[in-house]
């Protein structure tokens, strides 16, 4: 049945030409952009969902999420709209197949092929994660492999921008996604972040290596239960001989606890590249599942022969006729005939038939000689090609600049396949790091893949983060520099407020290597200050000196001091002997209002020397009057009176 939508022109611009695929929620058509005259893909929402605001919102969100991304490994979205009761979005058209189709055809992939497919997938997801977008439905059906080997991630219909919590939430209380690839946290709580995409990508890696997902079951609930309660088995259990680092990579990326997985797709890609390097796995082309030597491919050995017309003189000389299908047959009445007799001599030329003009016979003879020469040259060329001629040397290109390496390959009769690029501490930017195949003998026309250096990978901490609160700086560093490890230390700083960033070690703006440790120095505030000795100063002088050091000064109750003049500061608390105190602390000063007061002791009846000692011990002076005796009979002031320290007490000493 003809699709009724085919032939419609949406918004006067997109003419739907052919239905490419149909899913539960949408149908994809090949369409012509009448304005730009190019072929695009148009995804049209299913009719029964077009009036559901929830699904229309999801559909619109896909357009916005994908439009935020500009990456060669993400299917680009260029437009979105609704027309004639159809809700649609416009995407680039990728000619090829899905990873699901490839796995169905191949069963499983080698480690090198699996890495070749996963590398661009993770590159595309890295761009999404760095833009704050989580895909939430990574699976083989959403990985497109073009006929040119370019891999693209598609279908951001479930994607949602990361909110302040760093997670995405379920839509309308309904868990959406493909259960075979959903992470435990999506299944249990309906929440997802970049690490949920890592889990799904790890499951896809497992499936590429083994040919099937890790869990199966009669119902989706049975599959979900295994994701939540079991660890993903090692791929080598299904495919003996897989290297253990590959098992470890699958295990790390599919841990049930999100905290144990790589932070995002960029971290996953870095770990995969480490494994590839450790195992010495050479880069291979992305498997497309298509033959490279099909009937449409023209090669020197299978190039079709141009059919000749019967009147073609060369056909007459050769004695053959070519039909429309390119098959040759003998002309009637003519045989192949020997070109040499049994003695090795050329036979006599057959006499011309009666009635054939002389110039025709000469022309035929010239053509015969030309064909013989052509056959000789062709046979020689084929012999040379089958012998040494088809071989050439892949030149030594390590360290060569990219364009110079391409020129050398072309001069050697080889086809440059440019270029894989990788960070390198050893090679400068633009230099060739390796070739596949390596230097040595190769057949002319062979594709030589170049691995070109992007130079040393470096990262920088923004200098604008200095002096900002650490509570604000920390999430910014985690989001913008996940490749760098940060640790903290604390120090007093008189110019940076407590809790703010004093600086970085190495300093902000310095070129940093991946996984380099950077220490963030956080301020403890102003360093503690010692309280100076302000006793003996006027209250005004003492307050000015203490406030200059950052103290808050409070005047306490007045006191008395024998050593400080009335009106001067006699004490400060905390004092100089208490050690440094926190900057901005409150100190209390005490002002003297005179010498201390003492109670006059009762010395009547005491001997003179005893009374004198008692009064001096109380801080008083003694004025004694004696009359023929040694006992104190009277004292003035009287016992119990309160007098200032140092006052004179008169005593009368008699018998």
| pLDDT score recorded for residue 123 | 95
pLDDT band at 390 (very low <50, low <70, confident <90, very high): low
| pLDDT score recorded for residue 465 | 94
* Top-ranked range on mean pLDDT: pick from 244-253, 294-303, 542-551: 244-253
The token pair at 370 is 């030309």
Quick check: helix, strand or coil at residue 431?
strand
Active site amino acids: 137
Residue 619 scores a pLDDT above 50? yes
Residue 418 scores a pLDDT above 90? no
Poorest-confidence range of 3-12, 334-343, 387-396, 621-630?
334-343
pLDDT band at 389 (very low <50, low <70, confident <90, very high): low
As a whole-number percent, the residues of the chain with pLDDT over 70 amount to 82
pLDDT band at 360 (very low <50, low <70, confident <90, very high): low
* Domains parsed from the chain with CATH numbers: 9-92 (3.30.200.20), 97-279 (1.10.510.10), 391-453 (3.30.10.20), 463-523 (3.30.10.20), 539-591 (3.30.10.20), 597-654 (3.30.10.20)
pLDDT band at 559 (very low <50, low <70, confident <90, very high): confident
Report whether 199 contacts 251 (CB < 8 A).
no
Q: What is the mean pLDDT of residues 587-600?
A: 90
Going by DSSP bridges, is the β-strand pair 517-523/485-491 parallel, antiparallel, or unpaired?
parallel
Please provide the distance, in angstroms rounded to a whole number, between the alpha carbons at the two ends of the chain.
148
Q: Which residue has the higher pLDDT, 548 or 375?
A: 548
Task: Give the per-residue SS3 of 257-274.
Answer: CHHHCCCCHHHHHHHHHH
Planar angle of CA 11, 12, 13, nearest 5 degrees: 90
Q: What is the mean pLDDT of residues 407-411?
A: 85
Quick check: helix, strand or coil at residue 524?
coil
Angle formed by the axes of helices 111-130 and 265-279, nearest 10°: 150
Going by DSSP bridges, is the β-strand pair 631-636/648-654 parallel, antiparallel, or unpaired?
antiparallel
Task: Give the pLDDT confidence of 291-349 residue by residue, as tens digits.
Answer: 333 333 222 222 233 333 333 333 333 333 333 333 333 333 333 333 333 333 433 33
pLDDT band at 372 (very low <50, low <70, confident <90, very high): confident
Report whether 198 contacts 255 (CB < 8 A).
no
| pLDDT score recorded for residue 257 | 93
Q: What is the DSSP letter of 386?
A: I
| pLDDT score recorded for residue 387 | 54
| pLDDT score recorded for residue 347 | 38
Q: What is the mean pLDDT of residues 207-224?
A: 91
Q: What is the mean pLDDT of residues 54-81?
A: 79
143 strand-pairing partners = 153
Rounded to an integer, what distance in angstroms lies between the CA atom of residue 190 and that of residue 170?
5
Rounded to an integer, what distance in angstroms lies between the CA atom of residue 429 and that of residue 466?
31
Rounded to an integer, what distance in angstroms lies between the CA atom of residue 76 and that of residue 78?
6
Poorest-confidence range of 239-243, 281-285, 300-304, 454-458?
300-304
Q: Mean pLDDT in the chain? A: 81
The token pair at 317 is 């000389």
pLDDT band at 361 (very low <50, low <70, confident <90, very high): low
Q: Which residue has the higher pLDDT, 466 or 372?
A: 466
DSSP annotation string for 499-522: TBEEEEESPTT--B-TT-EEEEEE
As a whole-number percent, the residues of the chain with pLDDT over 90 amount to 47
| pLDDT score recorded for residue 442 | 79
Task: Give the pLDDT confidence of 125-169 residue by residue, as tens digits.
Answer: 999 998 888 888 899 999 999 998 999 998 875 444 333 333 333
For residue 429, how many C-alpha atoms fall within 13 Å in the half-sphere facing its CB?
5
| pLDDT score recorded for residue 324 | 34
Task: Give the pLDDT confidence of 181-190 residue by residue, as tens digits.
Answer: 999 998 887 7
Poorest-confidence range of 323-337, 429-443, 506-520, 545-559?
323-337
DSSP annotation string for 606-633: SBHHHHHHHHHHTT-EEEEEEES-SEEE
Residue 280 scores a pLDDT above 60? yes
Task: Give the pLDDT confidence of 168-209 residue by residue, as tens digits.
Answer: 334 443 444 578 999 999 888 777 889 999 999 999 999 999
Q: What is the mean pLDDT of residues 48-68?
A: 73
pLDDT band at 357 (very low <50, low <70, confident <90, very high): low
Report whether 180 contacts 139 (CB < 8 A).
yes
Quick check: helix, strand or coil at residue 641?
coil
Residue with tokens 């299944």: 187
| pLDDT score recorded for residue 70 | 84
Poorest-confidence range of 196-200, 246-250, 439-443, 588-592?
439-443
Residue 624 scores a pLDDT above 60? yes
Task: Give the pLDDT confidence of 260-273 residue by residue, as tens digits.
Answer: 999 999 999 999 99
């Amino acid at each position: 049945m003809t699709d009724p939508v085919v032939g419609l022109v949406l918004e006067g611009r997109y003419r739907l030409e052919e239905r490419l695929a149909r899913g539960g929620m949408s149908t994809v058509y090949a369409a012509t952009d009448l304005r730009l005259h190019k072929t695009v893909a148009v995804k049209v929402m299913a009719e029964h969902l077009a009036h559901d605001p929830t699904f229309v919102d999801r559909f619109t969100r896909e357009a916005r999420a994908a439009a935020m991304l500009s990456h060669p490994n993400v299917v680009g979205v260029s437009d979105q709209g609704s027309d004639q009761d159809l809700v649609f979005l416009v995407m680039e058209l990728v000619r090829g197949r899905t990873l699901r189709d490839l796995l169905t055809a191949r069963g499983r992939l080698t480690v090198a092929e699996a890495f070749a497919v996963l590398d661009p997938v993770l590159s595309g997801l890295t761009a999404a994660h760095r833009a704050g977008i989580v895909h939430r439905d990574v699976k083989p059906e959403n990985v497109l492999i073009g006929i040119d080997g370019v891999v693209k991630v598609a279908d951001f219909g479930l994607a949602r921008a990361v909110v302040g919590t760093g997670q995405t939430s379920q839509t309308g209380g309904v868990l959406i996604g493909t259960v075979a690839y959903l992470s435990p946290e999506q299944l249990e709580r309906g929440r997802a972040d970049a690490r949920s995409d890592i889990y799904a990508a790890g499951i896809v890696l497992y499936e590429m290596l083994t040919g099937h997902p890790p869990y199966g079951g009669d119902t989706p609930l049975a599959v979900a239960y295994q994701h939540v309660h079991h660890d993903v088995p090692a791929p080598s259990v299904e495919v003996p001989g897989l290297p253990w680092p590959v098992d470890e990579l699958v295990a790390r990326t599919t841990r049930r606890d999100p905290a144990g997985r790589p932070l995002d797709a960029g971290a996953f890609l870095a770990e995969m590249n480490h494994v590839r390097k450790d195992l010495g796995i050479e880069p291979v082309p992305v498997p497309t599942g298509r033959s490279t030597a099909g009937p449409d491919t023209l090669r020197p050995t299978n190039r079709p022969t141009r059919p000749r017309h019967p009147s073609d003189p060369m056909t007459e000389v050769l004695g053959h006729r070519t039909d429309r299908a390119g098959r040759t047959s003998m002309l009637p009445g003519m045989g192949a005939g020997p070109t040499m007799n049994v003695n090795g001599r050329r036979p006599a030329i057959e006499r011309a038939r009666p009635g054939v003009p002389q110039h025709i016979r000469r022309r035929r003879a010239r053509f015969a000689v030309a064909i013989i020469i052509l056959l000789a040259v062709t046979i020689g060329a084929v012999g040379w090609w089958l012998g040494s001629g088809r071989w050439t040397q892949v030149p030594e290109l390590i360290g060569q600049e990219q364009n110079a390496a391409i020129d050398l390959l072309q001069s050697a009769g080889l086809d440059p396949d440019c270029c894989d690029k990788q960070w390198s501490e050893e090679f400068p930017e633009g230099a060739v790091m390796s070739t596949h195949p390596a230097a040595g003998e190769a057949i002319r026309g062979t594709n030589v893949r170049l691995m070109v250096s992007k130079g040393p990978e470096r990262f920088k901490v923004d200098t604008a983060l200095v002096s900002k609160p650490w509570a604000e700086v920390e999430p910014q560093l985690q989001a913008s520099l996940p490749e760098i490890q940060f640790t903290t230390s604390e120090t007093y700083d008189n110019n940076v407020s407590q809790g703010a960033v004093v600086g970085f070690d190495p300093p902000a703006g310095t070129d940093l290597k991946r996984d380099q440790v950077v220490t963030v120095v956080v301020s403890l505030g102003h360093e503690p200050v010692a309280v100076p000795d302000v006793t003996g100063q006027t209250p005004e002088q003492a307050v000015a000196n203490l406030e200059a050091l950052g103290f808050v000064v409070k005047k306490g109750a007045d006191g008395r001091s024998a050593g400080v003049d009335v009106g001067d500061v006699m004490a400060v608390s905390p004092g100089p002997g208490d050690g440094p105190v926190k900057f901005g602390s409150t100190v209390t000063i005490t002002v003297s209002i005179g010498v201390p007061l003492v109670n006059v002791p009762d010395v009547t009846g005491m001997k003179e020397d005893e009374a004198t000692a008692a009064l001096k011990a109380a801080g008083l002076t003694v004025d004694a009057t004696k009359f023929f005796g040694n006992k104190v009979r009277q004292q003035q002031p009287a016992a119990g009176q309160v007098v200032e320290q140092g006052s004179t007490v008169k005593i009368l000493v008699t018998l």
